[in-house]
Amino acid sequence: MPEPLKVLIIGGSGFVSGTLARTARDAGHSVWTVTRGEKPLTEGVTSLIADRKDPAAFAAAIESAGVEWDLAVDCIGYQAADAMQDVEVLSPRVGHLVFISTDFVFDPLKRAFPQPFDNPYFLSGEGYGPGKRACEEVLLASDADMRWTVLRPCHIYGPSSQLGCLPEHGRDAKLIERMRAGEPLRLIGGGHFLQQPIFVRDLANLALSAHGCDLADRAIYCSVGPDIIESVRYYEIIAEILGVELRVEEVSVAQTRIEHPEWQSFLCHRIYDLTPLRLAGLKVPNMPIAEGLREHVESLL
Ligand SMILES: NC(=O)c1ccc[n+]([C@@H]2O[C@H](COP(=O)([O-])OP(=O)(O)OC[C@H]3O[C@@H](n4cnc5c(N)ncnc54)[C@H](OP(=O)(O)O)[C@@H]3O)[C@@H](O)[C@H]2O)c1
């Protein structure tokens, strides 16, 4: 049994953050969450209500808790201002911050295979990936007296989310219905891009393992699952679980690049090496994709 920690989660009732809250609680840690109170709150945790986009309200909620936390996990930082808020408000009260970033920080046209965490080619400009990279840069430039670790997950799957790892069937609430009806799934490039989906509880346990890990201080990790698969394999596994035949209609990659520039980060192989996590002594994701998808599908049936 690990030493019980005081864990603060920014977020705490969403897909990733809610799973993290439950995983930490079930591991015997004391858990605080910060949400706006719009989604149902997680049981067995101390809920702080504040909108993080309201700096004064957020600072007051953290201050009023009167706690020194061992670990904080920011699950909902998207812009530089969010990471600055972590540094300013959390660093006096938190020993170690884990920031959930994304593998969409990388420029999809300048990837290596596998992609190392220190590949220096990032997306720039506006939007999701560049915003996450701006958060990472705030932490890299910070001299606050708080340890920090950045995790860059790829596709995250598991209960309390929808199925689907690739457009046009990413997070498709009707995926099971479509597959049972024999509808062909329209997958970019026929689903041949490689991915390494991470099971949501693996990500939660990885985040929790950062506490007390000296080598993970001021470090950034590509945070992915153990299996490298073609995206289409993800859908094949679901078909096998449902006992239906998978039918796929190939969508042109070139056409998608023109019609959907917002999907550019999906149009590449997204594979990584887990060795840096292992060498740091972090909890390495180990849920086999077929087992994790079975749990995910069953949670939706
Ligand atoms: N899904 C993927 O495949 C994937 C891949 C890579 C990285 N990620 C990262 O994983 C994280 C996803 O977290 P999640 O699944 O927990 O998100 P989520 O399901 O959207 O939930 C968001 C959580 O934050 C709270 N919240 C939202 N806005 C807030 C605000 N302004 N102030 C305070 N609380 C707020 C929500 O509760 P209320 O609504 O009640 O406030 C909820 O608890 C993101 O950082 C994302 O970039 C996801």
Task: Provide the CA 161 distance to its chain's centre, in angstroms.
Answer: 12
Residues in the chain with pLDDT < 70? 1-2
What confidence tens digit (pLDDT) does each residue in 201-256 have?
999 999 999 999 999 999 999 999 999 999 999 999 999 999 999 999 999 999 99
Provide the pairing of β-strand 147-153 with 229-230.
unpaired
Spatial distance between the Cα atoms of 210 and 224, rounded to a whole number of angstroms: 15
Q: Given this model, what pLDDT does residue 249 score?
A: 98
Spatial distance between the Cα atoms of 199 and 204, rounded to a whole number of angstroms: 9
Q: 197 CB less than 6 Å from ligand 1? A: no
DSSP-derived secondary structure letter, 281: T
Q: 97 CB less than 6 Å from ligand 1? A: no
- Residue 93 Cα to ligand 1 middle (Å): 22
The domains of the chain, with CATH numbers, are 6-157+199-225+272-285 (3.40.50.720)
Cα angle for residues 150, 152, 156 (degrees, 5° grid): 130
- For residue 6, the cross-strand partners are 30
Q: Given this model, what pLDDT does residue 1 score?
A: 59
Phi-psi region of 37 (alpha: psi -120 to 50; beta: other; left: phi over 0): left
Q: Which of 15, 16, 53 to mutate to test the pocket of ligand 1 (most atoms within 8 A of CB)?
A: 16
Q: Given this model, what pLDDT does residue 192 score?
A: 98
**DSSP element (H, E) containing 8:** strand 6-10
Q: What is the pTM of this model?
A: 0.98
What confidence tens digit (pLDDT) does each residue in 154-172 have?
999 999 999 999 999 999 9
Q: Given this model, what pLDDT does residue 3 score?
A: 82
Spatial distance between the Cα atoms of 202 and 181, rounded to a whole number of angstroms: 32
